[in-house]
A and B are shown apart, each in its own frame.
Chain A
Amino acid sequence: MFSLLRSMWLVFLHMFHKRETYQYPEERAPLPARWRGRIALTRDPDGGERCVGCYLCAAACPVDCISLQATEDEHGRRYPEFFRINFSRCIFCGSCEEACPTYAIQLLPDFEMAEYNRQNLVYEKENLLINSEGKYPGYNYYRVAGMAIDGKAKGEAEHEEPPVDIKSLLP
């Protein structure tokens, strides 16, 4: 009984505490760098799209709000033909970012995405793709993957030997 009264008293005393609220539009909360907000598709250091259309983000998405179609350019580089996120479904859990093997999809510290029209919450690739490497500068998936693309032939990636000459008799 006493504890009840004591907690009532303590709560009452909160009347005289400083308020924690950020008065949002006038006053902005500092967002940490790892804040899970707006989702963006980033680019390689050389400016190419990082997304290779592997579908892992879509598979990881618990609300299934990512859909894409992978395609390939004439030199073998994969990219998404379309990439759509339905932000009216997104729960900003960050699973897509964790699943992404190329650091392409990243959640950025920005949450100001509200719309009056729900349809505007459907983002296509042109709305998602940004001109930046995002949180992981320097990473370039195709420099470690074995596929040949324009400007990187077989054996030219990191930690790769030149292609085997299968006609060689040397050991």
Chain B
Amino acid sequence: MAIIHIDGKSYEVKEGKNLLETCLSLGLDLPYFCWHPALGSVGACRQCAVKSFKDEKDTKGKLIMSCMEPVKDQLRISVSDKEAAAFREQVIGWLMTNHPHDCAVCDEGGSCHLQDMTVMTGHSYRNYHFSKRTYKNQYLGPFLNHEMNRCIQCYRCVRFYKDFAGGKDLDVFAAHNHVYFGRYKEGTLESEFSGNLAEVCPTGVFTDKTLKQHYTRKWDMTYAPSICQGCGLGCNIIAGERYGSLRQISSRYNGAVNGYFLCDRGRYGYEFVNSERRIREVAIRGLMDHAIDPGAALQYLQDKLPPGRTIGIGSPRASLESNFVLQQLVGDDNFYLGMSDAEHDLATLALKILKNGPVRTPSMQEAATADAVLILGEDLLNTAPMMALSVRQAVRKQPLQDAMNTTHVPAWQDAAVREAMQDKHGPFYILHIQPTGLDEIATRTYHTAPDNITRIGFAVSQLLGAPVAAVKDLSEEEQQLAQAIADALLAAERPLIIAGYGCGCEGTMREAANISWALQQKGKAAMLVLTTPECNSLGLEMLGSHRLETAVTAVLDGDIDTVIILENDLYRRLDRHIADQFFQHCKEVVLLDHLYNATAEKATVLLPAGTFAESDGTLVNNEGRAQRFFQVFAGSGVVQESWRWLLQLGAATNNARLKNLVYLDDVTQALAQSSAIFAGIDQLTPPADFRIAGQKIPREPHRYSGRTAMLANVNVSEPKPPEDADTAMSFTMEGYRGEPPSSMIPFFWWPGWNSVQSINKYQTEVGSSLHDGDSGKRLIEPKANGQAPYFSYSPDNFVPLAGHLMLVPLYHIFGSEELSVHTPAVAERMPAPYILLNPEDAQRYQVVESHQLQLSVNGHPYTFTVKTDARLHKGMAGLPVGLPGIEVVGVPVLGKL
């Protein structure tokens, strides 16, 4: 701790941080541009000048850039010093000389850091009367809009895009006052994290292009804290709505989960909420001609749910609450997890490893502190993108430490430490079936079949001292690799092992567990990350119940009349032919879902279920962290939360288990009592009767506009705003204006800080946790001192089968996820369906790139367009699962030529 004096007041602060960060942590308003809490300092913008004094007697002082100044004991500075303030104003004046007169047509306006800082410094009149510099803009793809005129050359974009996120195609060009931030030529920005530029850029050079399609200012949106549904990581997001449609997703800071950033699937994959394919009315087959009101539908279903002959199929993309209520509605014995066989096995295994193993599964921010990383069969950028960003930071750890040790520069001196580090990377090994986007920073990569990855993993764990038998027939190269990996992991302090659903193979997960457990036994602070495919895969597995295939058997046996399907497209879980059969044998198929999909075609009763934006609920991410998402807006018409539909069904059928459950809090309490693992899940967020100063938390900023006009075209008498009986948030702008609890921050705003940079004000210390702790509750903690039940099964070497191709899954950040592909921008980035072959295989089967290949899977023929890649193991074929147009499910599976 150090004592520093700011404007004559003494503060006790942490030593070693930079002064700007410290001042902001203390709640002082100090303008800045080039500094970013996640990116560190470069001292480029000269905006954060303060005056520093030698001692008490020094009255003259000297101007310093606070972001470049480490905090030392007895430091004397003045923020409000006239000269410093004049300097800061002057700097803004310079930055503004070429800034266009654009605010009215700029998407950043109203949440613009440049606007805020200009007001903060007091620069109000333009003194520069010459002409302005202009630039030509570039087309940067469907996600980002480019308006280079507005640039103030803070370099944050390239620092984030290249240095932090490892992007290649955004750079700075030209020199002196002509510098240009863009691509070397027009084209789509390729990074999976490009969307963050909209938040990182302090002004409107990079803005959200999907927001522009339905542009709304920050102050005009109804926000709610939400959880991303794009993958199993559970990034915290803020979702904004206006005029009944979801407008924008932005990052919601969570010091334990996603930090400041989001991936592009999470940021842009929201538009399915506004899709034309949304189910918005209750529909009953045979009664198609007239609209059915919900009451009539419930009445219709009243005697169609015979106990024992009704089953419920849950969903890993529905909330815990919805799944739980369905389980209670149909009874434990009749509840089936709506996961495909492969997914089910993987989820069961993941939960088993996390629950029984002694190794901690880290949050994303903890994962970023690892100093050696091993990835077993996982294309992180496509299966868990934000984890890849953490891995990028983790891989920097060792050289960063070296650089700090040799140059004695703190880590936040970004330019200096990067200069000292050059291209060095920490130990990082990737074993996967095909190349991944992280390969470039890996120490070594190895592309082989999933079984072989398992075998190498097995060998590594054995080398690390796990009590397992040696692997037979390991090739020389593989043996060397295993040794190298084992050595690197042993040399590290905090090794991180990552596996998951990425190659659809249980073996990789088992070996990841084995390796991490062995490392733990060696006294390392090992960490184990297991990715999960969907936003609530782990939560559904915790709820636990029967496999989907048993449901199929039961239905095909004729034991079942009615199937209630919760937010699930069974055609993505079951083979098409099996699913067809399944539906043929059901008398009634009740589907609660958002979008018309293949299952909706078969349903006899459709109940419109609210998406994440129209529902409250809880999700459990791959870390076992339960997180609550809040309803952003009241669903139009009869759209309501799935769990509410199911509760109403329960009431209509006088279900004793669902008695007295009406509101969200009732359901979460029942859930918390249902099983020990869910204990405390009802306290994730304050209850519905929570009030601050007697008021609810408003979802709308205080300058929300148009209340008395937005619906006036329908009726000049304004309707009563919807009320939220489920949570302590209100759908209006009325309510408590101060800082809400961290789990229910609908948007970040602070007086004088309209942009997202206001996050600083919500943190205990810049870049650390939010004021009352980061939200979410980890439901699983490692069994300390637990005896690791090592897995001892090792598969045989993968041998191609003549006339067959082993179909292995390939994932795409844009395309593999079911709902996000309904965003036009995401669909634009989606690859066309294909099958990836080794050129030798292609030659053998006499196909070339872009030719059609016929394969028979489970006895049914499919046709694919061929792509080739020599790095794919022979005898295997990569299939982009989940991609629209790929009908094969249950990969990995053998395909017959």
Contacts and interface: CB of A to CB of B under 8 A. Distances in A.
The reply, when asked whether chain A contacts chain B directly with Cβ atoms under 8 A, is yes
A110 interface: no
Contacts of B750: none
B715 A119 contact: yes
Interface stretch (B26-34, B700-708, B848-856): B700-708
Interface size of B as a range: 35 or more
B132 A66 contact: no
B104 interface: yes
Contacts of B176: 171
B105 A55 contact: no
Query: Secondary structure of the B side of the interface?
Result: loop
Nearest to A55: B217
A54 B105 CA distance: 6
Contacts of A163: 134-136
B131 A160 contact: yes
Interface stretch (B95-103, B153-161, B461-469, B866-874): B95-103
A164 B174 CA distance: 10
A68 to B, nearest CB: 8
A76 to B, nearest CB: 9
Interface string A98-132: 00011000000000000000110110100000000
A121 B103 contact: no
Contact of B102 (A64, A65, A146): A146
Contacts of B705: 55, 58-59, 61, 64, 66-67
Contacts of A84: 709-710, 712-713
A67 B102 contact: no
A103 to B, nearest CB: 11
A135 interface: no
A148 B147 CA distance: 10
Contacts of A159: 129-132
A63 B101 contact: no
Interface in A21-59: 52-56, 58-59
B878 interface: no
B53 interface: no
Contacts of B103: 54, 101
Contacts of A101: 103-104
Contacts of B708: 63-65, 86, 89
Contact of B212 (A52, A72, A122, A147): A72
Nearest to A158: B131
Given A54-B105, A56-B104, A59-B219, A124 B713 contact: yes
Contact of B716 (A54, A118, A146): A118
B109 interface: yes
A64 B219 CA distance: 13
B709 A164 contact: no
B173 interface: yes
A52 B105 contact: yes
A4 interface: no
Contacts of B150: 146
B829 to A, nearest CB: 21
Contacts of A171: 176
A53 B174 contact: no
A166 interface: yes
B97 to A, nearest CB: 11
A143 to B, nearest CB: 10
A92 to B, nearest CB: 14
Interface string B131-172: 111111100000000010110000000000000000000000
Contact of B105 (A67, A78, A154, A162): A78
B716 A86 contact: yes
- Sorting the interface of chain A by its residue count into under 10, 10 to 19, 20 to 34 or 35 or more gives 35 or more
B243 to A, nearest CB: 7
Contacts of A121: 716
Contacts of B178: 164, 166, 168
B407 to A, nearest CB: 33
A154 to B, nearest CB: 5
B690 interface: no
B105 A161 contact: no
Given A119-B716, A145-B100, A154-B137, A70 B215 contact: yes
A55 B220 contact: yes
B215 A66 contact: no
B405 to A, nearest CB: 39
Contacts of A155: 134
Contact of A147 (B147, B180, B220): B147
B472 interface: no
A144 interface: yes
B214 A69 contact: yes
A86 B104 contact: no
A81 to B, nearest CB: 9
B79 to A, nearest CB: 30
Given A54-B104, A84-B712, 18 more contacts: A54-B109, A56-B104, A63-B708, A66-B706, A69-B243, A84-B709, A85-B709, A86-B708, A118-B716, A145-B100, A145-B105, A146-B147, A146-B150, A154-B137, A163-B135, A164-B135, A166-B173, A166-B174
Interface of B: 100-105, 109-110, 129-137, 147, 149-150, 173-174, 176, 178, 180, 212, 214-217, 219-220, 243, 703-710, 712-713, 715-717
CB-based closest 5 A-B pairs: A146-B100, A67-B706, A58-B705, A54-B104, A67-B709
28 contacts: A54-B104, A54-B105, A55-B110, A55-B220, A55-B705, A58-B220, A61-B705, A64-B707, A65-B706, A66-B705, A67-B706, A69-B216, A71-B215, A84-B709, A84-B712, A101-B104, A118-B717, A122-B713, A145-B105, A146-B149, A154-B149, A160-B132, A161-B131, A161-B132, A163-B135, A164-B134, A166-B173, A167-B174
